Structure 1
Amino acid sequence: MTTMTEETMCPTLTAADRCDACGAQAYVRVDLESGQLMFCAHHGRKYSAKLNEVAVSIVDETQTLAK
């Protein structure tokens, strides 16, 4: 599995991309063998352990959120 960060690529998610779990703005895109899922920062963290096991690649743009 490949995890892409701000250092390795430009942001690819936009405000139009929505979380598959709750509909909030997506900051995490997960590419699977069977397709693609998008998650908000909350659900990306919640499911990260399992997603890391099954993902082909993960684009995590949560670093763009203000702290």
Structure 2
Amino acid sequence: MTGALAPTKPLTVADRCDRCGAQAYVRAVLAGGGDLLFCAHHGRKYAEALRAIGADIQDETDRLNATAASATHAER
């Protein structure tokens, strides 16, 4: 295994955080197989520990900023 993140499909509104059930923006692909999904908060909370065990992190939290910017622009 190279440590490079295998191609994965983008997270959708149907993907939920394994910890709290909120919309998932972070996927942790585990070295032994399988993955975990996290909201932005829990993704930040567990990222260091997950990387320490060799997980690759797919972080889509930048979509939160894009959504907020679009909402602010629409309000003008």
Give the TM-score, by structure 2 length: 0.69
> What is the aligned partner in structure 2 of residue 13 from structure 1?
11
Runs of at least 5 residues in structure 1 that lack an aligned partner in the other structure: 4-8
Alpha-carbon displacement from aligned partner over 1:16-40 (angstroms, at most 9, x marks no partner): 0000000000000011114110000
- Name the CA distance, whole Å, in 1 between partners of 2:10 and 2:54: 17
- Name the CA distance, whole Å, in 2 between partners of 1:34 and 1:2: 14
Equivalenced residue count is 63
| Residues 1:64 and 2:63 are matched in the alignment | yes
More strand by share: 1
TM-align CA RMSD:
2.4
- Name the CA distance, whole Å, in 2 between partners of 1:17 and 1:37: 10
- Percent identity over the alignment is 54
Runs of at least 5 residues in structure 2 that lack an aligned partner in the other structure: 69-76
- Name the CA distance, whole Å, in 1 between partners of 2:11 and 2:41: 16
- Name the CA distance, whole Å, in 2 between partners of 1:63 and 1:55: 23
> What is the aligned partner in structure 2 of residue 25 from structure 1?
23
Largest Rg, 1 or 2: 2
- Name the CA distance, whole Å, in 2 between partners of 1:62 and 1:31: 16
